[in-house]
Amino acid sequence: MTSGVRWSTGTLSALALAAIVAPAIVVAVLGWVSLQHWQASAELLFREQARDVAAMAAAKVDMVLRHAEDGFLDRVQGRLAAGDLSEAALAAAAADTRFIRRVYVFAPDGHLLVPSGWRDADDASLFAVVPAALTPSLEGRPGKRAVTADGRVGVAAMLSGRGRVFVAYARDLDALRRDVFETSLGALESPTVVAVLDDKGQAVYSRTPLDRAERLLAVALGDTLPDWRIAVYAPAGASPRQAVRWQVTILMGALAVLVSVILAGAVATWRLVRREAEIAQLKADFVANVSHDLKTPLSVIRMFGETLEMDRVPDDGRRREYYRIITRESERLSRLIDNVLDFSRIERGRRVYDIVPTAVEPLLRETLEAFAWPLEQQGFKVEVSIAPDLPDVPMDADAVGQALANLVDNAIKYSGEDRAVTIDARRAGDQIALSVRDRGIGIAAAEHGRIFEKFYRVGRSDTQGRRGSGVGLALVRHVAAAHGGTVTVESAPGDGSCFTLWLPLAERRA
């Protein structure tokens, strides 16, 4: 009996040990697999974000360079049309475009017309590529620019009083850095480093030094610099792989503690993994929703831009309308980007407000004007009620305008069949109340407090189809608090919503 009891005790001890070790192993394995998936997802998401940054930077550089060179070529075309092919005329045409140097004019057969000879041996070597660039396709399309060599030489076919000629010019790299790359990329806000690479893969410009930075990807710069690329780098110590490895190290330490205190460790690890999954999902949803919101105005801008480019709008009035739509959608795109950037600054505690006395009515009118096209296109009835003799209010006009724009955008997005938006401004004691009311789907009272949380979205079927970044109302609440005010909501399902921004007449920051 004694030995049987000992055997039973040993068995129970082994079972107890197994009960301690087995959950730890299971959690360790599940945690490791989850981390591998998370690592892959994080790296993919990071690369997609980097690709978007690179594509946007490339388009911006290409646009700035193309605009500058088109202006120069227009001036040269004017000189040629006037029959002035002198060196002074070419120098005058290039005076306003500082990165263009040493302009030459060639006949179609490659014969140098202006000046009569090379200025120096370096020019003779640099422009030796020009005769090879005078292809039949270029000759048949006057004004069509073709970039040759390593991006240092540009060639354009043009008409003059003497027939067709070719204008060739050299680009000055230092001036390109200063006037094009710095202008286009210097103000980009991104955790990554954006650099311009030449045809040899050498960095000719970057916002910050590339020492020990990890290259993520590169995209083609565009037709103006066809062999050059925009590259995106992760600063030293900030690559997604390193971040994930750091998380793995932390979790392995937690699992080591978990072996000795399995119950508490298992619960803590489960909660950690669950929280990480929720954060990852929120980040993924945020990126997806922001990308969707950005694509909408971009699609409209592209559609009307292509229509104008193909000259399918003969009526001047309609063309002006299309230009107005493009401008409004560009403003909408800027507003969406500002929302994300401001939210990022708020999260980092770097949002600064410039509060000065500001008139209310012009701010409201300007905000509504930005939504004129979507309101008109979707058939909204707009009512504006502004109390007379409203005093100036201490505020940051840009921030409050952005908050009101978010409220108007939500009113449009969550309206049903009864499409109406009412803007109201009135004085209430020592405060000014700015209200945006709609007759949309409404919000249940139980969710009134949560809708101002970042990333929170009302969990109803009739709202899930309306995508958004999930930071608009959080930003509105932060703006109100920064001004010493509040934001309130009155809403019920099916009865629409009324959001009111309360701003004190006397400056008192939160």
The DSSP code sequence of 226-291 is: TT-EEEEEEPTT--HHHHHHHHHHHHHHHHHHHHHSHHHHHHHHHHHHHHHHHHHHHHHHHHHHHH
pLDDT tens, position by position, for the chain (510 residues)?
Answer: 444 444 444 454 445 555 555 666 776 677 667 766 766 776 777 778 888 888 988 899 888 888 888 888 888 888 888 888 788 888 888 888 888 888 888 887 778 888 888 888 888 888 877 776 665 555 555 555 655 555 677 777 676 666 778 888 888 888 888 888 898 888 777 778 899 998 888 898 988 888 888 888 899 987 788 888 999 888 876 665 566 566 667 766 666 666 566 555 555 555 665 666 665 665 666 666 666 666 677 777 788 788 777 877 778 887 787 787 787 777 767 766 766 666 666 666 666 778 899 999 999 998 888 888 788 888 899 999 999 889 999 998 888 988 898 899 889 888 888 899 999 999 999 999 999 999 999 999 888 888 887 767 665 444 444 455 567 788 888 888 888 999 999 998 988 999 999 999 986 554
CATH number of this structure's domain 356-504, picked from the four choices 3.40.50.300, 3.30.70.240, 2.60.40.10, 3.30.565.10: 3.30.565.10
CB atoms within 10 A of CB 407: 26
Which pLDDT score is estimated for 26?
72
Model pLDDT, residue 464: 47
Q: Which of 131, 133, 104, 132 is nearest to 117 (CA)?
A: 104
Cβ contacts of 190 within 8 Å, gap of 6 or more: 53
Chain position carrying tokens 């129970």: 12
> What pLDDT is recorded for position 231?
92
d(CA 298, CA 289): 14
Is the distance from CB of 355 to CB of 394 less than 8 angstroms? yes
Return the pLDDT at 329: 75
Q: Where are the domains of the chain?
A: 15-260, 356-504
